[in-house]
Amino acid sequence: MAHRTALALEYHLVSYKRTWRASVFSSFALPAMFLVAMGITVGHYIDERSTSIGVPYLDYLGPGLLASTALQVAVADSTWPVFGGFNWTRVYHAMRASPLTVGDVLRGHLAFVTLRVALSSIGFLVVLALFGALHSWWALTTPLVSMLLGVACAAPCFAFAARTETDGAFAVLFRVAVVPMTLFAGVFFPVESLPVAARLLAYVSPLWHGVELSRAATLGTPTAWGLPAHVAVLAVWCAVGYVLAVRSFTRKLGD
């Protein structure tokens, strides 16, 4: 099974060889520009007027942006590419014509998305180091956190992309899920300042748990709920999303 999954992964890696250069910009230049725009300029304004977060705003914002980048990479690579695999290139059908099973096809692509998230998080981590925003050796674990967060977000998106009839649904997904999570899941400010209902939604979202773990790692501070609780919530998202994705892929590709 692992060998066949590796073969499915190999297809995506070979395809990525033709497009990897474009991802370098998003992994390094965009985080640097965003950190300058928000962490330094806006952050200087916040640091002068508020001490409620306890650390410089750049140090607070950086790990939040790292986690939100993992979210966005995971969702982007798990929507249009998956939909295209079924409806445009039909590469999934070609794989199923080989000895690969539905599980092999799904796991191979999901592994590739996880690798993409890891590479993006490593690039962001390098940028944070250059800005002096890392304060603990635990920061080296943030790519692992990003990978867990990536699977937690990607697996449900695989299921959604396999079942939707039009790629226009992905724009709605970004508007009603990705953007609200990015704005209100602790990336830019503590969720404790939100109303109770909005705070509960943040606690349910995978991004808040990824942000808490990433921020704790880069700052060397405890997490809000403790490490096991955050990991457990993300693991539930991964497990449920994977089960739904298997069912959706099986429905499309057969047993």
**What value, to the nearest 5°, has the Cα angle with vertex 156 and ends 86 and 4?**
55
Q: Please report where in the chains the tokens 């992964």 appear, as a residue.
A: 9
255/252 Cα distance (integer angstroms) = 9
Residues 6+ apart with CB under 8 A from 148: 210, 231, 234, 235, 238
242/237 Cα distance (integer angstroms) = 8
- The string of pLDDT tens digits covering residues 79-117 is 999 999 999 999 999 999 999 999 999 999 999 999 999
173/178 Cα distance (integer angstroms) = 7
Tokens of 209: 């748990």
Task: Show the 3-state SS of 152-205.
Answer: HHHHHHHHHHHHCCCCHHHHHHHHHHHHHHHHHCCCCCCHHHCCHHHHHHHHHC
Question: How large is the average pLDDT for residues 238-251?
Answer: 97
Helix, strand, coil % in the chain, rounded to nearest 5: 80, 0, 20
Question: How large is the average pLDDT for residues 170-190?
Answer: 94
The pLDDT > 70 percentage for the chain reads: 92
Q: Is residue 41 pLDDT above 90, yes or no?
A: no
pTM of the model: 0.94
104/124 Cα distance (integer angstroms) = 30
Q: How confident is the model at residue 243 (pLDDT cuts 50, 70, 90)?
A: very high
Mean pLDDT, the chain, integer:
91
Q: Is residue 51 pLDDT above 70, yes or no?
A: no
Q: Is residue 55 pLDDT above 90, yes or no?
A: no
- Say which residue, 224 or 240, is predicted with more confidence: 240
